[in-house]
Structure 1
């Protein structure tokens, strides 16, 4: 019935929330008067619900500096009376709407708090951990938002490619009754379509698996299963957020390219998917921040223990399917990368121990390698199921299509990992010893 917002960002601080200046003054009745300015607040102001509950990060008067001095407050647009009815307007007002590149369906507001009454949520100076419960859920949501854009852009591009006539196939006419062939006959058009399809199918498998792990982490009767599931969700969350959003932007761009000049104009609608997909790489923590979180905290922070737990899943699949000749095109590259990942992680970890900037220089490439490792695992599992179903006599084209997509993924997209590991290993000097180049 009511809606809510997350009020974190201020004009001078986005990712670095330790710089925020919004103040919270304690009142005699246990509430707080909050004063400050917030920007980029999704659904920050509207009349689609009677009330909006703003979750606001602010500082108490005696708060320590930095992120350890942030508290969380609940600030309603309208005060709530004891009987649940709405009371007076709280002085938190929209001072402007940002004019965005995309996502125009969601108003993003600038909010000004002028002594607005708020209630402390949780403990003083512990606001950031509380907010991160919602931030991590939002990161999973952002990844799935890009997944949805990947799928809808692919579906539209596929339909267009089957209808749009341009040129003839290099190997001879395919639509002899027409003046030209549909562009789906051209290899590079198929490459763009299959890239979007593979990113969508790999992303769905990873997201559904993560959703299952969340259920286990919350409800499984075995405490160890709950703990292990929660740990792997933590590992996969930055990958879902960053890998799926990077892939989503690439996929929507490919879809627009399939439409050619017609894709660049409003009428076909595909350019909207590109604009809408771009923000996902930025908000809820930029993708570079996700990469630093993955490599610095989730992996090196516990000496790779969580990564090893996921590695055991891969090892079990490799052992199960390693002697199956029909699975070799999927299992061999997956097993090789899993082996390389251990050495790769150890090498980056040692370099980062000597110079922490090495982690910053390698992290984005590292996350994409990790993303492909996870995708490779799920595509190999999907291929295994498809092969078994076909061997059992199934003629369902779903399984044939799944095999073809898996073959494309391992042949055309998975090999990106080799160049990514090479660039990550090149060291940080070629980035930081560049004062003359960036003068």
Structure 2
């Protein structure tokens, strides 16, 4: 099988596995225990915290370990909202194409009396720092803008947005789940107050992530209990998962430039080939996008049928976020960039990693046009489009 769904999850790297096994076999103690076995685990936990801090250019104590990106997003937003409420500030700015971990948290906050402004993202899927600046009000308590979109791969101007927020004295959070390990991140230089990440997006294990919180920013606990993570996230730490995640991130950052160059070349070849399919369209910024992200709409077909036939052809792909793959509704991301419902239903996301090979791209470029043509040959909608009964949208 050709695995081209790395935005959904990645295979664990040998480096991550090598870091995880000793934590399972030898350093299995509870890091909160005072005996030597527990303290060996605590040392491993601290080493992982220091390694991740080096990758993000922050202090180790500013790293808070979580179960993944969704928990980190929730904790960041709910903490900022609570701080805003105490100050009488109940306005939050975000974008229309955030991950549902952010959007659903914002819906929850709206029910609690907060006002949310969702900035439009335009046809290439981005917002500008000027948009953010114009949306900030005296009662704004938080700006949360994703680093790079998980479906269409567009990279947002995080440093510029961060500078605007810092000047205005507004907290800035970014969901960097798709960007971490693939794009250079410097939370100090980019004026980031909080940042969410998830280990399984850069060849670490599932079920573990982190929230960077700039020192001095108050954090609200989502899980009450013990005093782990400086009292901000109760529950015995997942030491094997954390050790593996830290090792995976260090490895990804050490090889970032060479991996980006390789994956970008594969991505561009794939985009050029799929662009030859009639009535197709690339979604997202054609240049300023994640190295491995390719997202297309094909008019006249359904994305679900496309995925199933590609799976039969030995290609693992998706139609968008894995978190909503069971939904019959079209992608909110594609609707946000202006794709009509009918077109948004026919989307395909191929997300590559440094482990993909050129021959795999050749195979994808043979199979996708064949499957698209096959599905169109059976589609009444396509017949209406060809006959002129309906107008092409792409």
- The structure having more radius of gyration, on CA atoms, is 1
TM-score (norm 2): 0.30
Greater fraction of residues in helix: 1
Structure with more contact order per residue of length (Cα contacts < 8 Å, sep ≥ 6): 2
